[in-house]
Amino acid sequence: MHDPNCIFCKIIAGHIPSTRVYEDEEIFAFHDIHPWAPIHFLMVPKVHIPSMAQLLPEHEALLGRMMVLAPKLAFEQGCGPYPEGGFRVVCNTGALGGQEVHHLHIHVMGGPRPWAKG
Ligand code: AMP
Ligand code: ZN
């Protein structure tokens, strides 16, 4: 369920500090340490899933919950209302997808442009 060498598992367990945005029994969200945008947080499942490439049918409800939660958290964090405002969701997968941390995470970015990236 958890990988002792995984930095995001350590964040979820509280062994590495983070700025928490949200937590429930299945999902943890925290600010990205190197934000690309004025608002930039990460949403992760508490269970260690390395990437989208390992998703199974049993994860459908969890990923669905994360996607439904993303706009709620984005607006709570200050993203402007749709359609003038909004936010970007990114889920890098694998080396060519730009994934650096191999614990599935959804980037949620928003706020006034220009952004550093994205
Ligand atoms: P990715 O390239 O999609 O794997 O993105 C990994 C993200 O994790 C990057 O945007 C990093 O800035 C972020 N990150 C890495 N370590 C930490 C940390 N200790 N706390 C918060 N964010 C982190
Ligand atoms: Zn992990």
- For the chain (118 residues), the mean pLDDT of every run of 10, in chain order, is 93 98 98 98 98 98 98 98 98 98 98 94
Q: Distance between CA 52 and CA 62 in Å, rounded?
A: 12
> From atom 19 of ligand 1, which residue's Cα is the shortest distance away?
33
Catalytic residues: 105
64: domain CATH number is 3.30.428.10
pLDDT at 92: 98
| Domain enclosing residue 97, as ranges | 7-110
Q: Tell the burial category of 111 from Cβ atoms under 10 Å away from its Cβ (0-12, 13-18, 19+).
A: middle
Q: Is the pTM of this model over 0.95?
A: yes
pLDDT at 1: 73
Does some domain include residue 60? yes
Q: Which of 54, 49, 44 is nearest to 20 (CA)?
A: 44
Q: Which of 34, 47, 39 is nearest to 3 (CA)?
A: 47
Structurally, the chain folds into a number of domains equal to: 1
Ligand 1 binding pocket, CB closer than 6 Å: 7, 16, 18, 32-34, 92, 98-101
The CA radius of gyration of the chain, in Å to the nearest whole number, is 14
Q: Ligand 1: distance of its center to the CA of 99 in Å?
A: 9
pLDDT at 82: 98
Q: Which ligand is nearest the CA of 107, by number? A: 1
56: Cα within 13 Å, side-chain hemisphere? 5
- Nearest atom of ligand 1 to the alpha carbon of 91: 3
